[in-house]
Amino acid sequence: MPHVLEFKLPDLGEGLTEAEIVRWLVAVGDVVAVDQPVVEVETAKAMVEVPCPYGGVVTARFGDEGTELPVGAPLLTVAVGASGTEPSPAPAAPERTGSEPADSPGDSPGADSGSGNVLVGYGTGAPAARRRRVRPEPFRTRAAPASVPAPVAAPVTPAANGTAVAGPVQVVSPLVRRLARENGLDLRALSGSGRDGLILRSDVEQAIRQSATSTPPATPAPGAGTSAQAGAVRVPLKGVRGAVADKLSRSRHEIPDATCWVDADATELLAARSAMNAPGGPKISLLALLARICTAALVRHPELNSTVDTAAREIVRLPEIHLGFAAHTDRGLVVPVVRDAHARSAESLSAEFARLTEAGRAGTLTPGDLTGGTFTLNNYGVFGVDGSTPIINHPEAAMLGVGRIMPKPWVHQGELAVRHVVQLSLTFDHRVCDGGTAGGFLRYVADCVEQPAVLLRSV
């Protein structure tokens, strides 16, 4: 006898409490297997596919594409045990500890037919006690049945073989969907110029331009402000932009930061990189060399590879160096993290930087790729600027900023010469150290930039 199980939006980890439905991957009536991805959601950190821990027939979906749901809200229901849809056996879920809520997906009736997995990259192979819940029990009252969107039956059209299939709007890119939502466009009213009617970004941008030229300017109400305010565009602080705003605001609110900077002659560093990038060999990026210098400096000055436990009033010095680096993508600023950067060679760092950068541009970074950093390296020189005062990536204790490398007049070996000069800036949490430690760190970095052999002597 089949029974219906409800699959809720799982714990996304790292403090994430909600997600936006970007694209349903299954329709009502579809047969799904255990751990089959059923919906693509966007969190404040990444775009992820959510696998369903049950196998059976989808009987209902909750929420349209574009709907934002809190963790614990229903996603869909699955009829398990229907004829011809028996799921294949799955590994038993780990034993639940007393610290884990009883209403997690693995504790639903009949959960032994599911896998217990949550997100791609967030399996449940680790002991259950190590799985974090992102909200205490009072938060779950927000997801009461009265506030949950009603089940949405997907529109279906008959296929050639007589099977019902979903008929969603022909949009693949989540960036296109976001652009349309932020500008109040109904994608169902657009005709796509792509293959098989696919709606492209250019289609949405053209519709926005047409809407702007055909819509008369709004007349401000008395006392509503100036005409400039009447024509202002409001951009919601949500998704990546909202997460960045929250994190930077918290950093400035909690961390008493200070900044010091120094100019350095990077001519020898560029020469060393050219020598390392011999024809036919692996290419070493400049960012990788800066990362090697940065991790060596952190080994000498571990105070800066730390965090502050405000509740315990303790400075926590961290044993591993997980190096974040600022990257600009179409989704905004992201900070992917290179794990165990102190144990990697320049070649390994180059490969990992390249992998994470490409994933950021493609929008495929996982929450695990974007969290857990202990120190951040920010190469804002790629934007053509010389210097900056970085805001610390909370809850870290420091950030090293690197400006553009420019030919400038420089006194070299007692004579005026044209050298490649870079400005280095360090913003640090004054609670973890004083200016002497910060200055020592930055001076060591500058010395290694000017004379890369200094790094070899310290290894």
Catalogue the active-site residues. Answer: 430
β partners of residue 363: none
Structure-block tokens of residue 252: 């400035």
Q: Which two tokens stand for residue 407?
A: 């030919």
DSSP 8-state class, residue 103: T
Is residue 59 within 8 Å of residue 78, measured between CB atoms?
yes
Residue that is written with structure tokens 């997600």 in the block? 19
Dist CA 52 CA 211 (whole Å): 40
379 within 8 A of 287, measured Cβ to Cβ: yes
Q: What backbone torsions phi and psi does residue 18 show, to the nearest 5 degrees?
A: -150, 165
Which residues sit opposite 122 in a β-bridge?
A: 119
Q: Which whole-number Å values give the CA distances from 98 to 17, 94, 101, 111, 287, in the listed order?
A: 22, 13, 8, 18, 45
- Beta bridge partners, 57, equal 31, 79
Q: CA–CA separation, 420 vs 89, rounded Å?
A: 63
Q: How far apart are CA 240 and CA 43, in angstroms?
A: 8
